[in-house]
Every structure is written in C-alpha cells, then in structure tokens.
Chain A
Amino acid sequence: MPFSALSRASCHAFGRGALLLGVSLLAHQAAAQTAASAPPAPPSPASGDQAGEPGQWTGWLKRDTLLGDAWGIRTKLGNYGINIGLTDANEVFGNVTGGMRKGWVGEGLTMLTVGLDTDKAFGWEGGKFNISAMNIRGRSLSQWYIGNLQTNSGIAATPTTRLWEIWFQQSFFNDKFDIRLGQQSIDQEFMTSEGSAYFLNTMMGWPMFPSANLYAGGPAYPLSSLGVRLRAKPGGGFTILGGVFQDNPPGGPFDDDGQLRGSTRWGGNFNLRTGALVIGEVQYAVNQPEDGQMDTPGTRRGLPGTYKLGFWYDSAGFPNQRYDAAGISLASPYSTGVANLQRPNFSFYGVVDQTVWQPADSSDPRAIGVFARAMGGPGNVNLISYSLNTGVTFKGFIPGRDDDVFGIGYGLANVSYGARGLDQDMRYFSGTPMPIRASESFVEVTYQAAVTPWWVVQPDFQYVWTPAGGVINPYNPAKRIGNAAIFGVRSTITF
C-alpha cells in the first residue's frame, strides 16, 4: 500500500509531547508496522504528480548551454566519455570615419569541439582526446576597409570550413604533469592573458608580434601545427609550459602563407617540412591558493595575480626587412628583390594579470583587474619589433550584472627599424615623399553582457591611430590611411 494512503487512516497513534509535530504520516507507518505482519508494499511512482515535470526547455534561460542535455544526447554520449561543444559567434563591425574607406561587414564563426575522456570511454586513466572544426564566414573589416595591422576582430579570417585542433593529452602524477601531442593551436595555452581575453581585437588574443612575424602568423587561430607540449606544476604557484611545434602551418614561403593554401583549406596540412618553433613559458600565480595549501586563522590573502615570462625560437629562415642576400636594399633597382633569409628568429615576452580591487565580502563577485602583455624581437627580420597590450577590466560594473565585464584596452604595434629603413630607401630611390612607417595603436572599449549564461552580447568600440604605422591610402594615394573609429557588436551563443 502506498504510504501516503496509510497516512490518512489514523493520526492519533502517537504525538504526545509539546514538540511531537507532524505526526500523521509517521504515526501511521508505526501503526501499520505493529498491526500488520507482512512488510508494507513499497510506495509506487505517483502517476498523478507528473504535471510540471521538467522537460527539455525547463530552466533554459539559466543554464550554461542553450540546448542543455539536448534531448538526452549529451547524456548518452557522456556515458561513453564523449562531450560535444558547439558555439556560434556572429558580429557586425563598421568604421564610421577614417580607414581606407567607410563600410560595414558581417562575420561569423561556428566552432564544433568533440572531446573524449579515455577513462570513461575505455578505462585509460588521465587521457583526453580532442578534435575541433570550424566554419569561418564573412569578411574582415580591417582587411577590406581599414588597412590596419591590429585587426579589429579575433574571429575574422579567410572564409572556409576546416579541422582545427586534433590532439591527445595524457596527465600523470595526479595532474602535476601532462603532455599533449598532435595538431595544436598554441594561442590556446601560450601568451594568454585573462584580462585581454575579454576584448574583441585580434591582438588581444594572439598578439601582434607573432601574428605579424611568424610564418602565417604561427600555429594560432585559425591554423594549427603538429607538435608536442609539456606542462608541469611543480608547486609554489609555478606552472611551466614548453613545446616544440612545426612553425609554418600552411608550409609555404613567407610571402605566400595563405590560409587556404592546399590542404590547409580544410585543415589537413600536417606539415613537418619547415622550421621548428620552440616555445617555453613560466607562469607564477600570486595570492592564489594551491591544492593542499593550509591557511591558519587570520591568514590574509592578497589580491590574486598571474605573471608569465616566455620566449620562443624559430629555426626557419626569415626575410630581412630591408636587404637582399648581397646586402643591397630591396628598394634599390640593383637589388634582386628577394629578401635575404636569416635565421633564427626569436622573441621574449611577459604577461601580467593582476586584480587590483575586489570587495572585502568574498561573496561579492565584483573585481577590477589590470593586464599588460609585451613582447619583442630582432628588428631586422621582423615587421613589428615590439607589441604591447594593456588595459583594465571591471567585472560586475553595473550593479546586479555580476557576470558582465566592462573593459578599456590599449594596443601598440611598433614597426621595426628594418621596415622603416626600407621605407627610407624607397623614398630615396623613388624620389617621392613616401611615408616612413612608425607605430600603430588602438583603444578598445567593450562591454561583455551575459544575457544568459549561454548567450553573450558584446558591443564594442575601437579607435585606431595611424593604421599600419602610417601608409598611403590605396583608395586615396594623396593621403595616408586616416585614423579609424570602429563600432561593432558580437553575439556568441553556446549550444
């Protein structure tokens, strides 16, 4: 007999005492036990209480993904250790003044990621397999309308549909050490800044220095390279990252590194024929607890921060920005016009992310953080000799909007002395007052609004000074490209 039915039979079996409350159901179970010799029938599923049971769309505005369990698909795949991520970003950007010309563009990126937990799948502990693919569409405002180096959108790229990353990661020693093998996009782990990641400008993601100077911008979105990456967490707040990767995702010459070159178009170029990119990074987390760390009463932890120092070395030959193999300026009529290939190329970099304010009440999620990221390398073989990103972010800027972030950022790209020397030579040999490139900088003001946990809308403004360092506007050769004011908005949905 269902217990609920028993409960209505008698409600006075016991209940003495001032605080013997709510006796009805409990009393009846006791009464039933003494009265009957056979065990009571267990309660049955209540057929009449099904109304309002949660379905596919219950609570959809509050969950992390639009589709949630996706009609049970995620659970079924999860039982085999498979997880699927799907995000779709779309944006509109336009420059209202300056640039090569005024105009508006729409761009989009759809990213599919499939992960496999090998422990769940077949009992292999500590293993993860990851494969991702993307569809890129639209065209770049910077490329078509502005002409700046520090392109306005981190998702803008040559339209295509391609595989992206394919790697296996194995962790050891309770996750103190792991190794990742396969086709990787190193911007996912190296040179990252938590603060700059809120911004939309490309260089707030994968920075200007490697973007401009490595073959095809290096193994970073939307490309990837074969390689191996090691990570160790020795304790004391330190994390050490190191890796060796093929340095040239499309595998072409420096001046022909198109993202659609051959099998790079669909992500099937697993090139191993060109140079090696060796990269290392030491990360130090301050005021951030470690696993197992002990605190005593009165322990006061300062504001958290992360500091990173890194370097990379590329074994390939890089074209001298000014001279050919005979040491003659490329601008000279006596030059072969083929830049001297010099090796190696390298860079040092540093990244700072530091929280500078958060309320004393630890449950208050608001926080103000600053970030800075700087890097540089030899000016003879690099178009950009150093680049910088810096800025400030304010999480919970608007009261009640705990997950929104307001940010103001700045970026600087300095044209190298090699490239400037070539400009001077061009002016000399051509006899025309051609501009000498200097630096390009921008300011970005952005607001990342978490409309729901799975839908982020981000209005954005950028202003660019001396696009490309100050070059002639191809649509108006009498002038340099003017300073550009860019407005845009991005919508990102996580399915």
Chain B
Amino acid sequence: MSLHHSLLAVLLAAPLLAPAAQAQPKGLLETVKRHSVLGSTVADNGDQNPYALVVAPVSAGTIQKDDVLITNFNNAGNLQGVGSTIMRFTPATRKMALFAKIPRTLAGCPGGVGLTTAMTMLSSGWVIVGSTPSKDGTTATRGDGCLIVLDANGNVASVLAGPTINGPWGNMATIDRGTTATIFVSMAGFDIGAPEEDSPVVEKSTVLRLDLSIAPGRPPAVTKQTVIASGFGAQADKDVFLVGPTGLALAPDNSVLYVSDAIGNRITAIADPATRADSAGTGTEVTKDGMLKRPLAITLAPNGHLLVMNGLNGQVVELDPKTGQQIYARWIDPNRAQNPPGSGDLFGIAMTPAGDGFYFVMDEVNMLALAK
C-alpha cells in the first residue's frame, strides 16, 4: 500500500476509531456500578469506628482467603484510641465475625491498645496491626503505642515497640516474599500533645520501614528498621484524635512509596523505599489540593492509579501518580448529616482481590461497604 493510500485509510478509519477511544474509561471510579453496604463492623463488646481494611491474601487459621479484616479505633463509649477489636468479613457468606479481641493493656505496648489504620496480613498468616492508644479518647493521654503481631487465629504473638514506633497510624504498604517481608508504617505520634482549639502542627512524623524475617512457626522478627521519610506534619485534633500522614501505597515495581500527607493536603513520593538507607524527608510532591480534602488511606488500583480517601468529604479521589493528574472523584458517602457531606466518614480502603472494586468503611454508621 502506498503512503497515500495508507494516509487515506487512516483518515477514513479515524471516525470509526474515535468513539471506541472515547469509550475507554479514564480510570477505575467511573466503572463502579454500585455501592453496597455489607454489614456492621461493631464488635460484640461495642467497639466501633472502623479504620483499617485489609484483604486476606491467604487462608490461615480462622481467616479465609479474600476475607476482609477491619480494625475498630473506638470503644463502646465511642472513645477514640481505645478500640481493641478486629472484625472479619467473609464475602462468600456475607458474614461478619470477630477475628481478634486484644487486651486493652498489653505488656510492651506503651499506653495500651487502640487499633489504627495500620494493618497488614502476610502470606505466612501473620497479621500485624498498629496501636495508637489513649486512656480518655484524646491525645492528652496518648501512649506511644506499638505494632502487634497476631497469629491467624487472632491471638497476640508478639509486640513491636521502641523509640521509632510512635503512633503507628496510616494504612501499611507491604512487600511480602514469604519467608521475609518488608512493611512500611507511618508514625504520626511524635510530640503530639493534648488537643487544643488550634493545636500546633508538629513536623516530626515519619515513615518507618521494617524488614522482617519469618521463620516457620514463629512470629515475624525485625531484622532491620529504617526511617525512610520524615518531617511530615501531624496535629492533635479534638474531633478526629489526630491528623497526620495516613496512607501508604507502593508502586507495582516497589520503586516508589506514595504517602498521603493529610496536613499538607497532598500526596508525596518516596523513591527507592525498599532499599534506601536514609530519609527522603517528605519526598517529592505528586499532587496537592485540588480535589484532595485531607487525604487519608490510599491504595493502588490495577491501572496504576491511586485511590485516595478524603477525610473532609465523602469522596474517593482517583489520580495518576506518574503525572500527578487528578482524574476525578466519586461520592461514595454523600451523607448530608455532615457538612460537607460525608465529612469525617471515610478512612480505610482496600482493593478487591480481582481489582474490580474496593472496600471502604463508613465511620458514621460503622459499616463496611463495597464499591464495585
């Protein structure tokens, strides 16, 4: 075919191709068909305010593969930083059950137990969950907290604590190699005092990398720890306990760790998170403001986009972390009882195993929901 004919063919085909190109979704959120409320996350001891969401990668103990684990941050009296239960939702049966009830006071966990958005489950069956505890529901009585290792039956196996662990807060990112693993946790507790009317922002929050070895029959042991990011702002808050770096998500090749900087209202990127030996500071800014309204938990969708839960409205924002482009946002909790709608309702997020939707929590009604 001559060049002339080739050009003609392209020109003729263009109108036919154009509609098909336009029909391609720009992202995941527009493909979601509906939001379904799956069940109450309130534990039988009254614990409430669901935060972390983790989809089980394997079946182990009482956990079935694809189960959803959910932490409760509040107790029956709705005091924050006092919740100590983890719920387990089984999609196949649509049943919610208690997975773990951790003692409120635990040796080696300074300040007690108040389970946060920091949680992961390893393919070896171990569950690691963060605690940022309080005695009175505020940061006035906050303890440094810890990371708690549970077996797959919900029993406490060990506790990780120390000077680098202070207010483990945001959703974890995990590299799981079976016998070894690397987890990333944001620490938002450093020097956070009691909540005031206008609490100071303390720029001491970090992202801690923990390299773990997992021997058969033994809980994960830390082989190395490195602060790979630091200087994020955090602030005590009379309504939401504290505001600090909350969401972590790894690029598919683990070359970048994305961090939601709630105080800075932005997403930043930490290069070489799995290998770097020093702190990248707050990293490189990916995107700021726009549709972000206090970004909390984040996750990476199969299309490489980040899904970011907003704390100050009921939206999840989809953005391309490579370009920094905010694509659009979807209202998944437009509850008009809050202003703006859904403000304070969202927190955790986790992709479905098939990657065709995501689980999220509706804090105001203590419900687990699925957008798919």
A1-54 residues at the B interface, CB under 8 angstroms: 2-5, 7, 14, 17-27, 29-30, 32-33, 39-40, 42-47, 49-50, 52-54
Residue of A nearest to B82 (CB): A54
Given A3-B108, A21-B227, A43-B106, are A58 and B339 neighbors across the interface (CB < 8 Å)?
no
Residues 257-292 of B, flagged 1 when their CB comes within 8 A of A and 0 if not, give: 000000000000000000001110000000000110
B59-67, B118-126, B156-164 - interface stretch: B156-164
Is the pair B40, A120 in contact by a Cβ cutoff of 8 Å? yes
Q: Which residue of A lies closest to B276 (CB)?
A: A19
| Closest B residue, CB atoms, query A60 | B77
Helix, strand, loop or mixed for chain B's interface?
loop
Query: Per-residue CB proximity of B1-38 to A under 8 Å, as 1/0?
Result: 00000000000000000000000000001101011110
A365 at the binding interface (Cβ < 8 Å): yes
Q: Is the CB of A297 within 8 A of B291?
A: yes
Partner of A288, one of B104, B227, B334: B334
Contact flags (1/0) for B146-167 with A, using CB distance below 8 Å? Answer: 0000000001111111111100
B223 at the interface (CB under 8 A from A): yes
- A400 near B197 with CB under 8 A, answer yes
Of B35, B163, B328, which is within 8 A of A295 by CB?
A: B328
Contact at A297–B326, with CB atoms within 8 Å? yes
Q: Which of B30, B37, B224, B332 has the most CB of A within 10 A?
A: B224
Give the complex CA separation of A120 and B277 in angstroms: 50
Per DSSP, are chain A's interface residues mostly helix, strand or loop, or mixed? loop
Q: Is the CB of B76 within 8 A of A59?
A: no
State whether B105 touches A362 (Cβ < 8 A).
no
A59 to B326, CA, bound (A): 40
A29 and B160 within 8 A (CB): yes
Min Cβ gap A269→B in Å is: 34
Looking across the interface, which residue of chain B has its beta carbon closest to that of A293?
B331
Q: How far is the CA of A19 from the CA of B336 in the complex (A)?
A: 46
- Residue pair A26, B222 in contact (C-beta under 8 Å): yes
B95-152: which have CB < 8 Å to A? 103-109, 112, 135-138, 141
Q: Which chain A residues lie closer than 8 Å to B238 at the CB level?
A: 62
B134 to chain A, nearest CB (A): 8
User: How far apart are the CA atoms of A40 and B221 in the complex, in Å?
Assistant: 11
Instruction: Report chain A residues within 8 Å CB of B298.
Output: none
CA distance A49 to B105 in the complex (A): 6
CB pair A292–B107 under 8 Å, yes or no, is no
Q: Known interface pairs A63-B77, A289-B341, A292-B34. Does A25 touch B108 (Cβ–Cβ under 8 Å)?
A: yes
* Distance of A293 Cα from B29 Cα, bound (Å): 10
Chain B residues with CB under 8 Å of A256's CB are none
Interface residues of B in 169-207 (CB under 8 A from A): 197
Chain B residues lying within 8 Å of A294, measured Cβ to Cβ, are 29-30, 328-331
A363 to B294, CA, bound (A): 10
- Give the segment of A73-81, A307-315, A321-329, A330-338 that binds chain B: A73-81
Once the chains bind, are A58 and B226 in contact (CB under 8 Å)? Answer: no
Chain B CB within 8 A of A181 CB: no
Distance in angstroms between the alpha carbons of A23 and B227 in the assembled complex = 12
> Cα distance A294–B104 when bound, in Å?
41
Is B295 an interface residue, CB under 8 A from the partner?
no
B50 within 8 Å of A by Cβ?
A: no
Asked if B71 is an interface residue, CB under 8 A from chain A, the answer is no
In-complex Cβ contact of B164 among A22, A52, A58 (8 A):
A22
Flag whether A189 is at the interface (Cβ < 8 A).
Answer: no
A491 to B48 Cα, complex, angstroms: 29
Closest to B75 in A: A54
Interface bits A393-416 vs B (CB < 8 Å: 1, else 0): 000000010000000000000000
Contact yes or no, A23 B225, CB < 8 A? yes
Q: Is B357 an interface residue (CB 8 A)?
A: no
Q: In the complex, A52→B221 CA distance in Å?
A: 31
Q: B32: which A residues are within 8 A, CB to CB?
A: 292
Bound complex: CA A45 to CA B343 (Å): 36
The A186-206 residues at the B interface (CB cut-off 8 A) are none
**Is the pair A4, B107 in contact by a Cβ cutoff of 8 Å?**
yes
- Whole-angstrom distance from the CB of A25 to the nearest CB of chain B? 4
Least CB distance from B143 to A in Å reads 9
Q: Does A291 interact with chain B (Cβ within 8 Å)?
A: yes
* Cβ-defined contact, B162 with A24, below 8 A: yes
A43:B278 contact, CB within 8 angstroms: no
Selected contact of B279 from candidates A19, A47, A54, A58, CB within 8 Å: A19
Inter-subunit contact A19/B312 (CB<8 Å): no
Known: A292-B34, A293-B334. A59 touches B79 (CB 8 A): yes
- Given A19-B278, A20-B226, A174-B34, residue A59 in contact with residue B162 (CB < 8 A): no
**What sequence of 0s and 1s flags, for each residue 210-241 of chain B, a beta carbon within 8 Å of any chain A beta carbon?**
10010101110111111110000000001000
23 chain-A/chain-B pairs, Cβ below 8 angstroms: A7-B162, A17-B226, A19-B226, A19-B227, A21-B163, A21-B164, A21-B225, A22-B162, A22-B163, A29-B221, A30-B213, A40-B158, A43-B109, A54-B82, A58-B136, A59-B78, A63-B78, A64-B78, A174-B37, A288-B334, A289-B341, A294-B328, A363-B294
Q: Which 8 A-B pairs have the closest CB atoms?
A: A22-B163, A22-B164, A75-B46, A4-B108, A45-B103, A25-B162, A2-B107, A22-B162
Chain B residues with CB under 8 Å of chain A are 29-30, 32, 34-37, 40, 42, 44-46, 75-79, 82, 103-109, 112, 135-138, 141, 155-165, 197, 210, 213, 215, 217-219, 221-228, 238, 277-279, 290-291, 293-294, 312-315, 326-334, 336, 339-341, 343
